[in-house]
Structure 1
Amino acid sequence: MSTQLDPIVSEFETQEQADSYDRWFRTKIQHSIDNPGRGMPHDQVIAQVDAVIGDCSPP
């Protein structure tokens, strides 16, 4: 049986759910750390977003 958590303190109903989410989250973060080549520099992202916004602006 899992320990019930206070809804004011935790978004999870049980400690088991909280632990499961924590394991999932840490796995996702570690995967991102282990595969850094998939990222894109912030300046490049902003330039692309600005270009899209510029294309959508009224003449």
Structure 2
Amino acid sequence: MSPADTQEPAASYDLWFRSKVNTALDDPSRGVPHEQVMAEMRALIDARVARHSID
């Protein structure tokens, strides 16, 4: 695979990614506080671990 084979997809992805970031930055809705996200993820992880733990 030559560098030319990857340049176009990389440029396309970069454009898509920048668009998504700008859309998110321009979104006037309130975000979710970091602490809330971390608590929800910790609960999901703990539930998964509990479900797969060997007693």
Q: Name the TM tier (shorter chain).
A: 0.5 to 0.7
2:49 paired with 1:47 = no
Distance of 2:18 and 2:42 partners within structure 1: 33
- Higher relative contact order structure (alpha carbons within 8 Å, sequence separation ≥ 6): 1
Residues 23-48 of structure 1 show CA distances to partners (whole Å, capped at 9, x for unaligned) of 00100100110115252111111223
The structure where helix makes up a greater share of residues is 2
Stretches of structure 2 lacking an aligned partner (at least 5 in a row): none
Give the TM-score normalised by the residue count of structure 2.
0.58
Give the TM-score normalised by the residue count of structure 1.
0.55
- Tell me: CA distance 1:15–1:43, structure 2 relative to 1, closer, same or farther (3 Å): same
Q: Identity across aligned pairs (percent)? A: 45
Q: What is the count of residue pairs matched by the alignment?
A: 47
2:13 paired with 1:21 = yes
Regions of 4+ moved over 4 Å: none
